[in-house]
Amino acid sequence: MIVTVTPNPSLDRSVLLDRLDRGEVHRAGGVHVDPGGKGVNVARVLTAADHSTVAVLPTGGVEGNSLAELLAPEAVSVVEVPVEAATRSNLTLVEADGTTTKINEPGNALTTGELEALRTRLGEMATRARWVVASGSLPHGCPDDYYAGLVRTARAAGAKVAVDSSGAALAEACAAGPDLLAPNLAELTELAGHRPADLAEVAATARAVRSEGTGSVLVTLGERGALLVGGESAWFGTSNARRVRSTVGAGDAALAGYLLAGGDGPEALRSAVAYGSAAVELPGSRMPTPKELRIEQVRITEVDESGRLDPTSP
């Protein structure tokens, strides 16, 4: 079983536009409302692939009730931790050419008792899990080391832990020694303090992060694919999306695909890239199913010093 924990879930409203013009009135071409939050998205992908999954999340207010209701038709098993504050709502504006503008609310603060209840519930579920996925932003006022504490809790329960977050929360989680770190390029850049100039530098930066105690590092690179550093090797995977409709949740889909394929090595990377590519072809915050994959289109190569970070790099 894989357990996901999302301290700052959301309702995601995606609005489709021909083009976004600042200061103008727009007429929406369509609206999608989806359950949101990075861990929630991972759980949706895993469930669609018939993998045993439980999503642990705080829910509050009408928005929290709506979030749980939206997950029910997708058959996602949810363990709710009731909280006083309302669950946040996010807005995504998707233009016809695939350009995505995302407006995320910070998320209302959780009390110390609510955060502890979430950690305790996760610890209980982790005793039955092979992997725990801790992902997404932290709600307003949450301590930066909260994910680090969740890593220790899950590891103590016998589960492997994957973390996908950003900023200080990601840095603190690294120090706790997760089994997998899954940043995108911007998050890796922030963590390292410099932007890698090419694929070889991305690999070197991920290796430096790994040397601090992380098991493996999976770096998602948007439409360029993803890079995996584990052990002494690094691999790059790429695939061409037929049409980019929305980039929301693509990294979450990639992480789910990686874990579905065993969570280790180049074949798991192949699955990650296939899922990430399938996600960007879907509208709004929809998550891909196995039927929407084109895994045969994914190319995997070992990274060497001549690798360049561009869409044509092998």
Q: What per-residue confidence (pLDDT) applies to 305?
A: 45
Catalytic residue among 252, 264, 304, 310, which? 252
> Is 231 buried (19+), middle (13-18) or exposed (0-12) by CB count in 10 A?
exposed
Q: What is the pTM of this model?
A: 0.90
Exposure pattern of 108-129 as b/e (b: 16+ CB <10 Å)? Answer: bebeeebbebbbebbbebbeeb
Query: pLDDT digits over 28-79, tens only?
Result: 998 988 899 999 999 999 999 999 999 999 999 999 999 999 999 999 999 9
Q: What per-residue confidence (pLDDT) applies to 249?
A: 83
Active site residue 252: yes
Instruction: Enumerate the β-bridge partners of residue 258.
Output: none
Least confident of 4-13, 164-173, 226-235, 300-309: 300-309
Instruction: Enumerate the β-bridge partners of residue 184.
Output: 220
Q: What per-residue confidence (pLDDT) applies to 154?
A: 98
Structural tokens at position 252: 């979450």
Q: What per-residue confidence (pLDDT) applies to 94?
A: 86
Q: Which residues have CB under 8 Å from 225's CB, separation 6+? A: 236, 237, 238, 239, 273, 276
Angle, helix 167-175 to helix 185-192, in steps of 10 degrees = 70
CATH, range 2-302: 3.40.1190.20
Q: What per-residue confidence (pLDDT) applies to 308?
A: 53
pLDDT higher than threshold 60 for residue 267? yes
Residue boundaries of the structural domains of the chain: 2-302
pLDDT higher than threshold 60 for residue 210? yes
Yes or no: say if 148 and 175 are a contact pair by the CB < 8 Å rule. Answer: yes
Segment 134-148 shows an average pLDDT of 96
Q: Is the C-alpha dihedral spanning 95, 37, 220, 77 positive or negative?
A: negative
